[in-house]
Amino acid sequence: MKFVETPLSGAFVIDLEQLEDSRGFFARAFCAQEFAAHGLNATVAQCNVSFNHKRGTLRGMHFQVPPAAETKLVRCTQGAIYDVIVDLRPDSPTYQSHFAVELSQQNYRALYVPAGFAHGFQTLTDNTEVFYQMGEVFTPGCQRGIRYDDPALAIAWPLPVSEISAKDQQLPLLESLVQIPPQ
């Protein structure tokens, strides 16, 4: 695996190192030792799949607060997504900054999302599937979110939103969030 740190401290794009032959390729997609060597949480407490029918579907921006703050390893296994993270760690030099990357079934990339980050994505194709490895179990009382279209963030989503949940449309703006305590 190739770990490429993003401009947001602790967040990584992870590319596969493919061993190719006439059959295709083989690659390691997760290794606890390699994650630990990069200082990343290698705990997998839960795995989730998100399937999305329509291009332009938006999910996010979601996170969990302590004591159930979560890391995520996100990979698009079918179709393509525009994946976005926002640093919500008040002690971070990149606080309130965001980063985006395209994840697709063609590029095999994954995005490691540290605890204290909001995460969301927009589908770029119909029938898109996203696979998440979560470092913490879903804890409803710790679930939070911020608006995908918050003017303070100015995220440039690539497509008009075709589908979004009522819950995600009603998430608060960043300015109204209580600060997330340091991890």
The residues that are catalytic are: 62, 132
- CA 102, 103, 108, 110 torsion-angle sign: positive
- With CA atoms as reference, report the closest residue to 48 among 32, 65, 64, 31: 64
Using DSSP, state whether 175 is helix, strand or coil. helix
Would you say 120 and 58 are in contact if contact means Cβ atoms under 8 Å apart? Answer: yes
Residue type, 29: A
* Alpha-carbon 135 to chain mean position: 12
